[in-house]
Amino acid sequence: MLPHQHLSSIARLISGRDAMLDAMSSAIERFSARDVLFADIRHEVRSATRLAVVNSALRKFDRTNRAGTVARVLVGECWGQASTTQAVTASTLKELLSEALRMARAGARYSKKRIEISHAKPLTMSVQQKMKEDPQTVSDEEKLSFLVELDRAQKVDDRVINTNSVYDESRFETRLANSAGSRLEWDEIRMRAMVQSVAREGSKVQFDYAVKDGLAGYELVRAIDVNNFAGECGRGAVDLLSAAKPPSGEMTVVTDGDIAGLIAHEVCGHASEADEVVKGRSFLTGLVGVRVASDGVTLVDDGTIEGLRGTVPFDTEGTPASRTEIIGRGEYKGYLHTLETSARMGVLPTGNGRAQDYNHRVFARMTNTYFDIGKWTDEEIIEDTKDGLYVIRPTSGMEDVVGGGVQCLALKGYIIENGELKTLVRGMALTGKVLDVLKTVDAVGDTLQFSGGTCGKGEEDYIPVSSGGPHMRARMVVGGG
């Protein structure tokens, strides 16, 4: 058993010393300056294979390998960070630390505060992700053949005029040494298959999509029913050609698990990231212990769930991932922390300090964020709704950390009349004031559904996450395009 329980389900311990980690640890140990409160060095290798078949022809086949090293230094309450793609040597590491120190000191001239990173416990571990089938052992011909099949299966109708099928496998390898004494090495392997069909009839053009992804090996691809996965996408695009414009205004909305997940992520996920709380920007600042939603609402961020895209053994700072209850039965419970925010708020870090890569900053981010289940079946929620809108297929969302609003865009839905799904409607936005919306939740389904995606914070810094939930019912404002 690995020291952190969740690791045993997603990773296995490996042994042996690593020369690069030795060099990084050594550079940290030798680096000393009176004003340095914390320092770390990370070396990352990010490789990926991407294939895209468009209209039956291979349009893209890429293999990439990016490697870089980044050093961070904390002085006062300001960080300096320096990264490079030069070879890792004792000299390079020393230069990175010195450069980071110089910049941290420059920033610290504007502040007199100090942050003591006291919760960073020394960990020494090398872990390797568990998977049934390493995608590197599968031939490229087989991956290409899978995509060609996906593309073929989308062509369910002559009106499908454009088919797109994408395969994406990525491998992140991270080494980390820090001034608390940690020496860590881990990998993350993610798979993703995606289809998008475009249908045209006269001047009308519509699309639909489907995605399957996760922290997994090639077994994720083998589990896909090609005809079902891609065929439904093709049919979805054709059906949208005759979809009606959705109604606009405030109404009863029933979401499927994917839309519920998008709302979970945008509504309270971003505003629960503790860097937004320590500076008082989040509308959820100071709400721990306060009732913010109806009893049926429980919201969780959990980076330990096996197989999900946002799962990680450690966050970017080397803190093991964990489960954090954000809202428990309607009561606000807690925030998502980095080493720094946990120190500032006097709590334990939650494993939510994440960075896009060696070129980006670490700050508080989500992993897998979801509304927990209730007692209704999906069918019962629809049958119990006299008039409303059933919304599915999220396309994007945008948080409103300050104002407490939300924008969630969806591709399609159905008008609900007297407990039955009726007219198919096309693209729409859902919005509302978060705390008002959550208090109107009056039905929560009993089946969880997750979907993976890529999360930006503000307008950049993209990381893999997933979000999910059960079917849910609430009052929201809808605008149909």
Partner 1 sequence: MDKERIAGKLLSLSEKEGASQAEVFALTVKTSSVYIDDNIPKVADLKTEFGIGLKFVLGKQLGFTSSTLLSESPEDVVKRAKSVAHVSSEDPKFVSLPDPKVASGRMDRFFDKPTANAGSPELLEKVMMLVQAAAAKNVSVPNGVLRASSIDFAVHNSLGVRAGSMSTNVFGFFTAKAQDGGVVGEGVQRCWSRDLSKIDFPNLGNKLKSQAMSVLNATAFKENWTGIVAILAPSEGSEMVHQLVGSAASAENVNNRSSPWADKLGSQVAHKGLTVIDDGLSSAGLLSSVVDDEGVPTRKTTLIESGTLRSYIFDSYNAGVSGVSSTGNGLRRDPRDSLGRFSQPASCGVTTLEIPAGTKSLDEIIREVQKGVYIEHFAWPQVDPISGAFSNEARNACIIENGEITAQVKHCLLVGNMYESLTREVVASSDREVHDYCVIPTLAFSDLELVGQ
Residue 170 binds partner 1 (CB under 8 A): no
Cα separation, 18 vs 25, in Å, equals 11
Cα separation, 174 vs 67, in Å, equals 10
- Of 1 and 458, CB closest to partner 1: 458
User: Binders of partner 1 among 101-130, rule CB under 8 A?
Assistant: 102-104, 106-107, 110-111
How many residues touch partner 1 under the rule CB under 8 A: the total is 85
Nearest distance from C-beta of residue 329 to partner 1, angstroms: 25
Cα separation, 41 vs 235, in Å, equals 50
User: Binders of partner 1 among 232-251, rule CB under 8 A?
Assistant: 248-250
DSSP bridge partners of 75: 36, 78
- Of 94 and 433, CB closest to partner 1: 433
Report helix, strand and coil shares of the chain as percent, to nearest 5. 25, 45, 35
Cα separation, 349 vs 341, in Å, equals 8
- Of 73 and 300, CB closest to partner 1: 73
Q: Which of 129, 154, 179, 206 binds partner 1 (CB under 8 A)?
A: 206
Nearest distance from C-beta of residue 130 to partner 1, angstroms: 24
148: three-class secondary structure by DSSP = helix
Residue 209 binds partner 1 (CB under 8 A): no
- Of 258 and 273, CB closest to partner 1: 273
User: Binders of partner 1 among 382-401, rule CB under 8 A?
Assistant: 395-396, 398, 400
218: three-class secondary structure by DSSP = coil
Residue 422 contacts residue 454 (beta carbons within 8 Å): no
Q: Which of 10, 88, 177, 180 binds partner 1 (CB under 8 A)?
A: 88
Q: Which of 8, 98, 128, 162 binds partner 1 (CB under 8 A)?
A: 162
- Of 431 and 449, CB closest to partner 1: 431
User: Binders of partner 1 among 286-345, rule CB under 8 A?
Assistant: none
The helix or strand, by DSSP H or E, that contains position 249, with its residue range, turns out to be strand 249-255
Residue 11 contacts residue 2 (beta carbons within 8 Å): yes
Per-residue CA distances from 315 to 97, 165, 184, 214, 416 (Å): 21, 31, 11, 17, 42
448: three-class secondary structure by DSSP = coil
Residue 99 binds partner 1 (CB under 8 A): yes
User: Binders of partner 1 among 43-82, rule CB under 8 A?
Assistant: 45, 54-55, 57-68, 77-82
